Copies of this chain bind each other. A is one copy, B any other.
Amino acid sequence: MLYIVGLGLGDEKDVTIKGLEAIRRCDKVYMEAYTSLLSFGLSSHGLSNLEKLYGKPITVADREMVEEKADGILAEARSGDVAFLVVGDPFGATTHTDLVVRAKTLGIDVKVVHNASVMNAVGVCGLQLYRYGETVSLPFFTETWKPDSFYEKIQKNRMLGLHTLCLLDIRVKEPSLESLCRGKKVYEPPRYMTINTAVEQLLEVESLQGQDVYNEDTHCVGLARLGSEDQMIVAGSMRQLRTVDFGAPLHCLVIVGSMHPLEEEMLEFYKLGKTSEA
């Protein structure tokens, strides 16, 4: 049996009882380290908290490992019980769908244990989840590479009066360009896009495209460390959020569409200068 267990967003105690029981039942426990990492995955300290709670050693599986050793992991799941731990909910990212497809193709039973993900926990800011349009991803720009397919999607959402959840780029264990040229892999330090960078890139694309999709006065909500004890939520214009210090990752951003009165009332609590706890 392959258990795909969502760990939620905050710390080791966000696992569900069902998830914990599944993990404790397993012979082998892997934890994904390639689509998102959070407080408890960022340090060896965090990992040991997990291992203590689970009473099991955890093998951290980065993207390379999952791609290269998927056959081995699946073979283990055929003969015994294997848990694959995922930050958030198991189906937040494509990579897990791929693992599930491979397992099912081999006739291996798959059991999913759901949990909160940014896709639903973002509801905490008061903007109703059913009023969101397509979610977009903002990649890190470089001098020569500024992909902007999100711009048209945001435009369509805004034309419909819908909110847009922007997921911000995470670069973990990226081989450095230099090391690739030399044929020996050396990894860049991990990078997490801040809300500040996201707003700057959004405004840069607006100034290049000039379709008036949004501007410095457009209402947004910045959310940092969503679901953690020290989460931070600030509502304000792009101009305002550009300079707010949101602290440690992970960050995400919502571009606000048209609002119902109750949504407005709730956002009031997160306006700059007010308390930002939920």
Chain A interface, DSSP helix/strand/loop, else mixed: mixed
**Are the CB atoms of B167 and A156 closer together than 8 Å?**
no
A106 at interface, CB cutoff 8 A: no
Contact B21 A16 (CB under 8 A): no
Interface string of A8-21 (1 = CB under 8 A from B): 11111111111011
The answer to whether A104 touches B17, judged by C-beta atoms less than 8 angstroms apart, is no
A12–B17 Cα distance when bound, in Å, is 9
- Cβ A116 vs Cβ B110 within 8 A: no
Q: Which stretch, A31-39, A122-130, A176-184, A243-251, touches the partner chain B?
A: A122-130
* Bound-state Cα–Cα, A52 to B256, Å: 42
Interface residues of A in 4-56 (CB under 8 A from B): 6, 8-18, 20-21, 53
Cα-based distance from A90 to B120 in the complex (angstroms): 9
Q: Which residue of B lies closest to A125 (CB)?
A: B91
Give bound CA distance, A108 to B90, whole Å: 34
A158 in the interface (beta carbon within 8 A): no
A112 in the interface (beta carbon within 8 A): yes
Q: How far is the CA of A130 from the CA of B137 in the complex (A)?
A: 9
Per-position contact with B for A89-115: 1 when CB-CB < 8 Å, else 0? 111101001101100100001111011
Q: Does A119 contact B (CB under 8 A)?
A: yes
